[in-house]
Amino acid sequence: MAKNKKAPIQYLFLKAAIPACIIMGIMIFFVHFVQISAEKKLLLAQEQNNIKIGKKIISQSFQSILSDLRYITSSGYLKYFITDQSDSTRNNLEQEFLTIVNTKKIYDQIRYLDPKGMELIRVNKNQEHPTIVAKDLLQNKRDRYYFQDTMTIPCKEIFISPLDLNIEHKQIERPLKPMIRFGMPVCNAQGHKKGIVLSNYLGSNLLDYVRKSLAKEKSQLMLLNDEGYWLLSPKPKDEWGFMFKNDLRFQNSFSEAWKNIQTEAKGQFFTSKGLFTYQIIYPAHEGALANKTPLPVAPGLPALETENYHWILLLHLPQAEIHTILKKHLYWGLLQLGFTCLIIFPLLWLLTKERIRVINARKRMKQANEFSKAIATQIGEGLIVLDFHGNFLMINRMAEKLLGWQEAELFHKHIGLLIPEFKESEKESLLSSTIKANACRRIEPFYIPQKDGQIIPVSLTISPMYNQGTVTGAIIIFQDIAERLLAEEQLKLAASHDSMTGAKNRAELERLMDLEIEQSARKKTACTFLMIDIDYFKKINDSYGHLVGDQVLKEMSHYIRSTLRKSDIFGRYGGEEFVIILPQEDLQHSRKIAERLRLGIKENSLQNNTLKKAMTVSIGLASYPEHGRTSKDILLQADEALYIAKKQGRDRIVTAPENQ
């Protein structure tokens, strides 16, 4: 009798062990190929990802530089200087240039030249001590290629020179100073050119950033120009060959790789010298115009033609490194295979016993499920039954409808695969904590992913499931509460926002003002309030009607919000009055922000088709702690400053006087 009982286990064990032995024998012959293929795929993916990172770094760097240039050319100080070159306007523009050079630390020079090529303002980096160049030291650059090319391009387009080494007095500057020049015409409202803004970008910033981000222990980072000269090389002595009139080029060391690079804009390939991954990058992009003239050269050096000028970002993994990686991986693969052989038979024996246990359990479970489903099907809420380990035993029809899964798809799978909060990890899961507490838990809202990936909010109740006094699993009941939460959210939004403009309302503003003042007092930082009033708004209502007035309020609110940072707070205080809270901003910088806002509203012509006129605003400023210790006092000071601004003629900014 004992032998008959063991026979099924022995039979199932042999049935699994014999095929496993055959499979293991076959795996020995294929494991080498499998491991190499996996390592190769990983290696290729890592190199491609690093190239993408490098391209993104270069793209973001250029976007930042072009953004600075557009900011300078659209600066209010520059527009004033074009029409009024007084000492006051000159000083304002010089200080703005100085601030950019000092803050960014990536520009060797920023200059403004008139249409005849004469420098009117120049700020030099001067190592780490930026200085404004005196008037008598300014020079005429009308014969320089960068001035001539920039003056020929249309307004709003940008000139970009190739990356080369800076040349002073017809000699390459020492230490080497890689440089890219960016130029943009300065035009008035009629589109007439009034000069150019030119920034000399220190190319070493870009090269160092790329090198630090992509430098790997095994891969060799390279950046080439379109003729194959190194801009970045594992061997610094090989760099800038086109400037030093030598023939140190990539194609002279890697001729086979160079031929492959010439065929496609990006790619990855193996040669006898290793793995090469590359991407061709065109520095000139939308809104910029590449230089079409030869570069300035030192005596006797050939000019570099820049038509179709591009760079090649490249990673090279030498063949020796590839062999080392693959051999190491092969060694560990064979070691793991041997270890698997040592444990496979005991494991198969345990799996066979588990399989018999599961077969018997499923028979019992099937009987219990048939009875439970008859009850659960009629319940109007979602119902999930789990075993002690968190595996699905059943779900009812409503749960299938809410989740999008069929019961057959989830049966005996762990709930953690569907709902992360039930996944077992170092942190106690929702299921284990419920079983441990031996009590019912209600969670609302709880977010459950559907089969199609959408997330639905539910009210969820999880309770231990008992069998003869022992916890054997858990029962989850849930219902969709998305519509209820949406209604509650709409009520909250209506309580804190102005229904017409969508900006924060007065009550919410006053609450946030108090919070910001408390934070400023605790952190000992400044906080500035701007009180804004639309000029002659009553006349608009009286002349064009309230519908037009309402539209003006909406457009004004939309424009102001589009100019603010995420940390700034904006709301409608009442009528045509708006309030802006600038956390951690002092009066000096806040006034600049306010001035840009005032000019933006005026110059961008917030106009209505019926109104046919540009809008202006008056702004009053007050700051913590200069004008008070409470939000009420500071807002009162800002309001009084606004009153003064309107009394003085409107379309202006007035700062409240400091409390004595």
DSSP letter at 652 equals S
* 330, 338 contact by CB (below 8 A): no
Amino acid identity for residue 619 in this structure:
I
Can you tell me whether residue 318 is helix, strand or coil? strand
Tokens of 265: 């804009």
183: Cβ–Cβ under 8 A, 6 or more apart, which residues?
Answer: 146, 147, 149, 150, 158, 159, 196, 197, 198, 199
Please give the model's pTM, rounded to 2 decimal places: 0.47
d(CA 221, CA 74): 38
**Which pLDDT belongs to residue 377?**
66
pLDDT in tens, 222-258: 999 999 999 999 999 999 999 989 999 999 999 999 9
Exposure class string for 212-223: b at 16+ Cβ within 10 A, else e: eebeeeebbbbb
Amino acid identity for residue 540 in this structure:
I
**Which pLDDT belongs to residue 371?**
65
**Which pLDDT belongs to residue 525?**
94
The answer to whether the peptide bond before residue 236 is cis (omega within 30 degrees of 0) is no
d(CA 407, CA 651): 68
**Among candidate residues 278, 280, 277, the one with its CA nearest the CA of residue 322:** 277
What is the distance, to the nearest Å, from the Cα of residue 636 to the centroid of all Cα atoms in its chain? 39
DSSP letter at 193 equals E
Phi then psi dihedrals of residue 513, to 5 deg:
-60, -45
429: Cβ–Cβ under 8 A, 6 or more apart, which residues?
Answer: 390, 416, 421, 422, 423
Sequential DSSP letters for 65-129? HHHHHHHHHT-HHHHHHHH---HHHHHHHHHHHHHHHHHH--EEEEEEE-TTSBEEEEEE-TTTS
Exposure class string for 629-656: b at 16+ Cβ within 10 A, else e: eebeebbbbbbbbbeebbeeeebbbbbb
Domains of the chain by start residue, with CATH: 46-329 (3.30.450.20), 377-484 (3.30.450.20), 497-655 (3.30.70.270)
Tokens of 422: 């039930």
Enumerate the β-bridge partners of residue 577: 533, 574
Mean pLDDT for back-to-back runs of 10 residues, the chain (660 residues): 55 74 73 76 89 90 90 91 92 94 93 95 91 94 91 90 87 91 92 94 91 81 93 92 91 93 92 93 58 34 48 91 75 71 75 77 71 65 84 85 85 82 65 77 84 86 82 85 79 78 89 93 94 91 87 90 92 91 93 93 66 83 93 93 94 83
612: Cβ–Cβ under 8 A, 6 or more apart, which residues?
Answer: none
Phi then psi dihedrals of residue 586, to 5 deg:
-80, 180
Determine the length of the chain. 660
pLDDT in tens, 341-396: 677 777 777 777 777 787 777 777 776 656 656 666 667 788 888 888 888 888 88
**Which pLDDT belongs to residue 648?**
94
* Number of other CB atoms surrounding residue 428 within 10 Å: 11
**Which pLDDT belongs to residue 488?**
76
Enumerate the β-bridge partners of residue 268: 277
d(CA 657, CA 626): 9
Can you tell me whether residue 503 is helix, strand or coil? coil
**Which pLDDT belongs to residue 340?**
73
